[in-house]
A and B are shown apart, each in its own frame.
Chain A
């Protein structure tokens, strides 16, 4: 009797573990099945066609893909140096007593739900962008900056952790040779933590590209490739969030699933690269 219970407990837990894999595979399969009509109708040209006209049943993903790529790119170039700066501050500069509270405070930024970033961005940040850079405040630039604030804590935390793996003895030997703090950071800490830093950048990129609510508020949602970064645009998640419940035609619906599939594939590849290629080392040392 006990043997049966013992075995069933093992199988039950194994089944639960297997479920994660089943869900992942099912997501791919379902997205593909639902997107099929659009894939058959538009093929690969969907990626480059910039016309999105639900009334004419013409759908092109280019504006959404463009918006995703550009807003993510902006977020990355803003967030990367600041995140590395924060990590340097937390590992090499801050007093021992300040490290934990400041680190925790910055990680708190990551805990704030993204919809709150969106509301703050819409009511407080977009007007500033409007006054400083023109446009109506909603667009790629605002989205990029709001995204950069969202991904900042992730990048800073992972970068800090990988910098913390640098053996003290390496740093001490460099100091003993007369190196300044920056020499040590540049020649010892950063090279040592390189894989982790790159991993954190890629992982943050994966988050930024899939982020929905923070961006939906401030993107403006216009299905055109804008001529300036202060103008309204759209992105894959924004299109899905705004139009999914409105899709009436079969092809419209399938095109949205096509976008969802593209987003899922992109983020899968990005996250997998970061995790398997760059972040292995940090995880093992934890």
Chain B
């Protein structure tokens, strides 16, 4: 009896310790990010482009703009495709074999190594063209985005009560109108949250960009050229031996980290609020 109690207490202590370990690393990483990042932040980062080491006028303007363009184009391709596909699964496919099969496939695609997606896009969009380009980077990100948007759209549309659809049908509305005007409206907040989270997710991706959009030390808005991004710049700068580059790398990490974490927290708050209702 006593032995059981002792073992019980040991396990409870170990479990609590595990949670503390997890929290410890979270706060350690966050603290590193904030202290190193805030030190390195200044207005220069938003005014100047990346420059050779040692240069005073050195910033991240081109990388930030490049990142926005890449993520923007990827979203413009990925979000509508993901929402349409999710709509099919929830409104037409339901629990058919085909719909479940696509659900499984997108679960696999969601966890596929992002570097492999980069290699794939390199083979189809970079090698044939002969040079790195922004379109390839955006395409790689879009491929990662579609399954995420698809799954959340599917889930969110499913939450819309069946009676709403039936009421609209009873008024003689065709199916596409019911979906667009009733179902989408009912699921709007959830779908938007899913979309936000998917944007946060691809914004932090580096591996698929390494050999698709590559990098560029110049300001460009031309998607046919190699395009700088915050993440690839971070990678190049942080692994360099120059202190000012490493500091810029931390500034980039800070900007990225703040963006990704705040979108995640925002998403959680919205979803939680909806559940309470």
Contacts and interface: CB of A to CB of B under 8 A. Distances in A.
Interface of A: 2-3, 5-6, 9-10, 12-14, 16-21, 23-24, 26-27, 30-31, 33-34, 81-86, 88-90, 92-94, 102, 104-106, 108-109, 111-120, 122-124, 149, 152-153, 156, 180-183, 185, 203, 206-207, 209-213, 216-217, 237, 240-241, 244-245, 256-257, 260, 263-264, 267-268, 271-272, 275-276
B48 interface: no
Interface string B123-158: 110000000000000000001001100100000000
B8 A82 contact: no
Contacts, number: 259
A253 to B, nearest CB: 9
Given A212-B114, A212-B115, A244-B210, A17 B15 contact: no
Given A183-B8, A241-B210, A115 B111 contact: no
B206 A108 contact: no
Main secondary structure, interface of A, reads: helix
A264 B116 contact: yes
Given A10-B92, A16-B88, A210 B115 contact: yes
Interface stretch (B49-57, B173-181, B187-195, B216-224): B173-181
15 contacts: A17-B88, A17-B89, A17-B93, A21-B105, A23-B109, A31-B119, A34-B123, A89-B18, A109-B22, A111-B261, A119-B249, A120-B32, A152-B25, A267-B116, A276-B104
Contacts of A267: 111-113, 116
B43 interface: no
Contact of A271 (B84, B107, B150): B107
A63 B4 CA distance: 47
Nearest to A22: B105
B239 interface: yes
B256 A116 contact: yes
A257 B123 contact: yes
A210 B108 contact: no
Contacts of B147: 20
Given A6-B175, A182-B7, A237-B207, A124 B32 contact: yes
